[in-house]
Amino acid sequence: MTGEITNVVVEVLPRFEGYVYPNEASLHPLWGFLIVLYPYITGLVAGAFIMASLVRVFKVRALEPVYRLSLLTSFSFLLCATLPLLFHLGHPERCFEIMMTPHLTSPMAIFGFVYAWYLMAVLLLELWFDYRQDLVEWAKVTPGFKGIIYRAFTVGVTDESPPAVALDMKMGRILSVVGIPSAFLLHGYVGFIFGSIKANPWWGNGLTPIIFILSAIVSGIALCVFNYMVLTWIRRHTVDMRCLDTMAMFLFYALVVDAAVEGLDWLHRGFAAEEGFSVMQIMIREKLFYTLNLGQVTIGTLLPLLLLGPLQLLRRRVSELVRRRMIFSSAVMILIGVLAMRWNVVIGGQLFSKSLRGVMGYKLEFAGVEGWWLGVVLLSLPFIILTVLVKLFLSERLPSSGHIPQDSATGEG
Amino acid sequence: MKTQYSRRGALSRLGGAIAGLLTLSAARAVKAAVQKVFVASGAPKDYDTTKHKWLMCVDVNKCIGCGLCVEACKKENGVPEGPYFRTWIERYVIPKPEPGSGQTRGETLVDSPNGGMHGFPPTPVPKDQIEHSFFVPKLCNLCEHSPCVQVCPVGATFDAPDGAVLIDPKYCIGCGFCIQACPYGCRFLSPVTKTAEKCTLCYHRITRGLKPACVEICPTQARIFGDLKNAGPDAPIRKFYENNRVSVLKPHLGTEPRLLYAGLDKEVR
């Protein structure tokens, strides 16, 4: 009997320090890498949409070259946003119960409706109204299968009269206005899924949803910068520097606000030093040292601030090539940093026991449902979808209707 | 083809869509109501949930850490092998303070090897240096405001009117949200059914007039179980109440647990 007990203790010790509840002593945290990707992808959706609405609602003309690209980016990531959740469920076949018999006090149930609303009522409709006139034109000139696709997407509405086109524009603008709070709601709710858990001092916090929204905007703009620069590079086009500088400006200011609120959150936690603060200190100093201090703070926040900040003041003195490189590398670093932030939230919240007496270890594995291989696949999927969408709807060979998202003079330059 | 866009047409279409949505939500409500009736709880058909109010109390001073309750629970409820427990026992060892350290006590050691199922090995602290040592049985805290019920996206876990917090295994989607929300670590995702599981107070037993397995087997009567609605003046649960000052775990979270402890120490979380 004693031998048996000793074996259990020896087997458990390397992974756990201190005391963890017996139910927490499993090999992997309950929510693994897939659940890290879920807020990451959802944040990119919301951020890319906010980027598009800068053009449509706030009439930032310089950003017109990336308007459709950001909408398509948002859409392709939205299609994949729930996949990590689905793969992670114990009973994925029952997933529709969330919609059919929702429990209305649950943040996760409400997220299902917010997601459906955002996909069906906001993004799909806005894309359709924006593209309808083009689709009608393209259907006329494109033969074969592609032509059938364009025709199918018009859903039979082929009216090109000025009142119909005007209605398209009006609806698009209304949807954009509705879309901004919807995007906030979408990602705010993801934050609330974590922020609502009062049992966990790492998550349960009123600022969590706000931090999620802000970091979503930052990562979404960074993704649009990334996609735009990669697309122009693939197509051997020249980058529209006015557009890129404007994106960099919005990226910088969004990052400043995000960093300020996150800093405020940490100041508050440190000052209040409530129950569980000592365990949080272990997390910062040991368990999450690299992903937090290096990934989230240094790569994701400080370095991009240092690169983008001076650009706002000394834009004219820096050559275009250097600017492009600085902005591109900032965008890539922010994308890495926000992924690290999602990791720190999701995994970090599960690396300590709710008894606040012990910490667990976590080693990301290659294979399996929670392995990084599936994560990489799920993260590449939206880019594959985006490639198809760009080939179909941002094709260079097709004439564009020339209508612009906000009905004034073109800003293409 | 010329399409007419009229305000009347658009409004009537919008009205139709809203009516459709409302019908859908009514259908959802009916389905939920039907599911509530046929929910799988393990209770016999004639059991009336409104006529009982179950309560569990633990006298920490009486627990000897034998682990029989943990074993009985595992056997009675088919709890899987490994780190999966509906109930477990924690051992607290509080050493005497270092002389001259100015502290009231040394650093508390807590352990629960295999949930305390086979008892505990000798403590690493020599006997003469221990100030306090005691065992704390843990199980579902039967919260009045259960965070686990609050967060379940499909309503698979619910508060029964008799005070038990139950899970419908045929309905649980296995998302794990309730496990994250439980402040007491009382839930786990079963590797067998892929659904969340927890202490049901042995619902299949108590609804037939029996005691939960852990209460039945406890040799020192450290666990006291009863029905508040049907407890006479001499019922053990009433006596326990009268003779002890009780406390709950993590009261600051506002979950209002109905699992009551006598003799807790501040170190117990």
Per residue, the 3-state secondary structure of B173-209, as one string, reads CCCCHHHHHCCCCCCEECCCCCCEECCCCCHHHHCCC
Residues with Cβ within 8 Å of A247's Cβ and at least 6 positions away in sequence, in order, are A51, A63, A66, A221, A224, A225, A228, A327
Q: Least CB-CB distance to A164: which of B3, B152, B183?
A: B3
Average pLDDT over residues A266-294: 91
Tell me whether residues B35 and A101 touch, CB distance under 8 A.
yes
Average pLDDT over residues A48-62: 92
> CB distance from B92 to chain A under 8 Å?
no
B147 contacts on A by Cβ (under 8 Å): 197-199
Whether B122 is covered by a domain: the verdict is no
C-alpha dist (Å) from residue A295 to A225, A292, A345: 20, 5, 13
The pLDDT of residue A75 is above 90: yes
pTM: 0.89
Whether B92 is covered by a domain: the verdict is no
**d(CA A7, nearest CA chain B) in Å:** 10
pLDDT on residue B182: 97
A91 contacts on B by Cβ (under 8 Å): 172-174, 194-195
Whether A9 is covered by a domain: the verdict is no
The pLDDT of residue A254 is above 70: yes
Among A55-64, A313-322, B32-41, B73-82, the least confident range: B32-41
pLDDT on residue A28: 83
Nearest CA in chain B to A276: B269
A193 contacts on B by Cβ (under 8 Å): 177
Residue A64 structure tokens: 């017109």
B51 and B30, same domain (yes or no): no
The pLDDT of residue A4 is above 90: no
> CB distance from B127 to chain A under 8 Å?
no
- Give the pLDDT band (50/70/90) at residue A409: very low
The pLDDT of residue A386 is above 90: yes
Nearest by Cα to A180 from A43, A51, A69, A82? A51
* Number of A–B residue contacts, CB under 8 Å: 162
B31 contacts on A by Cβ (under 8 Å): 100-101
pLDDT on residue A11: 43
B215 and B183, same domain (yes or no): yes
> CB distance from B71 to chain A under 8 Å?
no
Whether B93 is covered by a domain: the verdict is no
CA terminus-to-terminus distance, chain B: 73
* Beta carbons of B240 and B57 less than 8 angstroms apart: yes
CA terminus-to-terminus distance, chain A: 80
Whether B268 is covered by a domain: the verdict is yes
Whether B210 is covered by a domain: the verdict is yes
Q: Least CB-CB distance to A19: which of B111, B173, B252?
A: B111
Q: What is the dihedral of CA A208, A214, A216, A218, to 10 degrees?
A: -140
Among A30-34, A220-224, A362-366, B32-36, the least confident range: B32-36
CA distance B82 to A8: 10
Q: Least CB-CB distance to B153: which of A4, A103, A350?
A: A103
Whether B123 is covered by a domain: the verdict is no
* Beta carbons of A329 and A307 less than 8 angstroms apart: yes
Percent above pLDDT 70 for chain A:
93
Sign of CA dihedral A345, A347, A350, A356: negative
Residue numbers of the domain that contains B203: 44-87+136-269
Which has more confidence, B99 or A250? A250
Can you point out the beta strands (E) in chain B? 54-59, 88-95, 109-111, 130-138, 157-159, 165-167, 188-189, 196-197, 223-227, 246-247, 259-262
Whether A338 is covered by a domain: the verdict is yes
B18 and B79, same domain (yes or no): no
> CB distance from B261 to chain A under 8 Å?
no
C-alpha dist (Å) from residue A316 to A195, A323, A328, B174: 43, 10, 18, 56
Whether A255 is covered by a domain: the verdict is yes
**d(CA A140, nearest CA chain B) in Å:** 15
Tell me whether residues B112 and A100 touch, CB distance under 8 A.
no
A105 contacts on B by Cβ (under 8 Å): 150-151
B257 contacts on A by Cβ (under 8 Å): none
Tell me whether residues B119 and A5 touch, CB distance under 8 A.
yes
pLDDT on residue A403: 61
B26 and B48, same domain (yes or no): no
Tell me whether residues B31 and A100 touch, CB distance under 8 A.
yes
- Give the pLDDT band (50/70/90) at residue A7: very low
B28 and B152, same domain (yes or no): no
B175 and B230, same domain (yes or no): yes
Tell me whether residues A5 and B120 touch, CB distance under 8 A.
yes
Per-residue pLDDT of chain B (269 residues; tens, 9 = 90+): 445 567 788 888 888 888 887 777 777 677 656 655 556 677 888 888 899 999 999 999 999 999 999 999 999 999 999 999 999 999 999 999 998 889 999 999 999 999 999 999 999 999 999 999 999 999 999 999 999 999 999 999 999 999 999 999 998 999 999 999 999 999 999 999 999 999 999 999 999 999 999 999 999 999 999 999 998 889 999 999 889 999 999 999 999 999 999 999 999 98
Whether A198 is covered by a domain: the verdict is yes
pLDDT on residue B7: 78
Residue numbers of the domain that contains A235: 28-393
pLDDT on residue A404: 62
How high is the ipTM of this complex?
A: 0.88
Residues with Cβ within 8 Å of B223's Cβ and at least 6 positions away in sequence, in order, are B56, B57, B58, B59, B69, B137, B212, B214, B215
CA distance A393 to A131: 8
Number of domains in chain B: 2
For A205-215, the pLDDT digits (tens) are 899 999 999 99
Can you point out the beta strands (E) in A153-201? none
Among A114-123, A200-209, A222-231, A394-403, the least confident range: A394-403
Indicate the DSSP class of residue A57.
T
Whether A401 is covered by a domain: the verdict is no
The bridge status of strand B54-59 relative to strand B259-262 is parallel
**d(CA A365, nearest CA chain B) in Å:** 19
Residues with Cβ within 8 Å of B129's Cβ and at least 6 positions away in sequence, in order, are B95, B96, B106
Percent above pLDDT 90 for chain A:
71
A108 contacts on B by Cβ (under 8 Å): 151, 153, 175, 177
B28 and B147, same domain (yes or no): no
C-alpha dist (Å) from residue A165 to A72, A132, B3, B5, B53: 21, 9, 12, 12, 65
Containing A357, the helix (H) or strand (E) segment is strand A357-360
pLDDT on residue B4: 59
B74 and B23, same domain (yes or no): no
Please, how many CA atoms are within 13 Å of residue A119, restricted to the half-sphere of its CB? 14
B142 and B200, same domain (yes or no): yes
Whether A410 is covered by a domain: the verdict is no
Nearest by Cα to B144 from B259, B229, B256? B256
Tell me whether residues A9 and B171 touch, CB distance under 8 A.
no
Tell me whether residues B269 and A196 touch, CB distance under 8 A.
no
pLDDT on residue A397: 75
Number of domains in chain A: 1
A9 contacts on B by Cβ (under 8 Å): 111, 113, 121
Which has more confidence, B50 or A367? B50
Nearest CA in chain A to B152: A106
**d(CA B120, nearest CA chain A) in Å:** 8
B18 and B77, same domain (yes or no): no
Please, how many CA atoms are within 13 Å of residue B163, restricted to the half-sphere of its CB? 22
Looking at the DSSP bridge assignments, the partners of residue B247 are B261
Whether A398 is covered by a domain: the verdict is no
Average pLDDT over residues A350-365: 89
B240 and B264, same domain (yes or no): yes
A112 contacts on B by Cβ (under 8 Å): 153
Surface of B (40-69) touching A: CB under 8 A: none
Interface test with B, best of A20, A21, A34, A160 (most B CBs within 10 A): A21
Tell me whether residues A22 and B115 touch, CB distance under 8 A.
yes
Residues with Cβ within 8 Å of A36's Cβ and at least 6 positions away in sequence, in order, are A339, A342, A343, A346, A347, A375
Whether B116 is covered by a domain: the verdict is no
